[in-house]
Amino acid sequence: MEWSDLRVFLAIAREGTLGAAARKLGQTQPTMGRRLQALEQAVGHTLFQRTKAGFVLNEEGIVVLGHAERMEEEVLAFQRQLTGQEQQLDGLLRLTASDWFAECVLTPVLADFAKQYPRVVIELLTDSRFYSLSRREADLAFRITAFDEPDVVSRKLLRMPYGVYAAKDHPVPQAGDGAGRGLITMDTAFGGMPDVAWLQRMLPNAHVAFRTNARAIQAQMCARGIGIAVLPRPLGDATDGLQIIDLGETPPARETWVGYHRDMRRLTRLRALLDLVVGRLAD
């Protein structure tokens, strides 16, 4: 097995097609195909599922990916030490977080990281599903629930405060009533979240006007006067047209956790980003 073949493997895994990977490495597409075939013969497994959309890692490929990236990090560290560029990290980091947390909380930190390490490519995935750290769908994940995977290293990052918001021209409702007022809440699949029950308890006579699992959309609908919403403070405070209102009781806060697969703990670029995130955001 040759390191050059692993470089080809990493390029295909990251780019998704032979053509894009060839352009990345300055090679021809036939050469990339031959080198991948040589690697697959050396390890005794097919590493990708070939689809119409491109190359997708299979289970064996995911295993090889973790080892290949650690080898890449060692090679890059060796090169940096020889050239005196120890701080010039390289490579890809794939992060996953909710849309509002990524926009309102992570973006300033990631911008500073990008300025400090311009050769590290950040790929940020924002949707409601949990990406698997074990299957390397993401390298670093931010969640509002604790990680229960045995092979994931995690820590509590911060306790996120929430507030009650209404449009600036919206009359403040009476706690314990809310008759004739609309509520903006999570959709039925997330109806068990603490803020949903809390808001309905505080305004028992209000009706649900709008549901969505996207907090950013909740904030925009709230600003347009559709109803009252419980929102994370960084999102609510940053949304134009909203006022925070006092119902006599603070909504329940939520904890935010950060986690990564234990096999990634020695990856220098991940450690650099995690140190910055913890230093800037941790309680």
What global pTM score does this model have?
0.71
Strand partners, 156: 257
- How far are the Cα atoms of 111, 153, 214, 280 from residue 259, in angstroms, in the given order? 20, 5, 22, 16
Q: Where are the domains of the chain?
A: 3-82, 86-159+255-282, 162-252
158 vs 104, 105, 254, 257, CA distance in Å? 14, 11, 9, 7
Indicate the burial class of 254 (C-beta count within 10 angstroms; 0-12, 13-18, 19 or more). middle
CATH number for region 3-82:
1.10.10.10
**The tokens 């092979």 sit on which residue?**
151
Return the H-helix or E-strand segment holding 248. Answer: none
User: What pLDDT digit, counting tens, does each position of 200-247 carry?
Assistant: 999 999 999 999 999 999 999 999 999 999 999 999 999 999 999 999
- Output the CATH code of domain 162-252: 3.40.190.10
Mention every residue, 6+ apart, whose C-beta is less than 8 A from residue 223: 167, 239, 240, 241, 242
- How far is residue 148 from each of residues 154, 254, 272, measured CA to CA in Å? 9, 17, 24
Contact 251, 164 (CB under 8 A): yes
What is the rounded distance in angstroms from the CA atom of residue 238 to the CA atom of residue 49?
A: 43
CATH number for the 86-159+255-282 domain, one of 3.40.190.10, 3.40.640.10, 3.40.50.1110, 3.90.226.10? 3.40.190.10
| Contacts (Cβ under 8 Å, ≥6 apart) of 55 | 12, 13, 16, 17, 18, 48, 49
Alpha-carbon distance 282 to 25, whole Å? 38
Nearest CA to 221 among 181, 172, 183?
183
Fold agreement (3-82, 162-252): no
Crossing angle of helices 107-116/268-281, nearest 10°?
140
> pLDDT tens per residue, the chain (283 residues)?
677 888 899 999 988 999 999 988 888 889 889 989 999 998 899 999 998 888 999 999 998 998 888 888 777 766 655 554 445 678 889 999 999 999 999 999 999 999 999 999 999 999 777 788 877 788 999 999 899 888 899 999 999 999 999 999 888 898 999 999 999 999 887 778 899 999 999 999 999 999 999 999 999 999 999 999 999 999 999 999 999 999 999 999 999 999 998 888 878 899 999 999 999 999 7
Helix, strand or coil for residue 272? Answer: helix
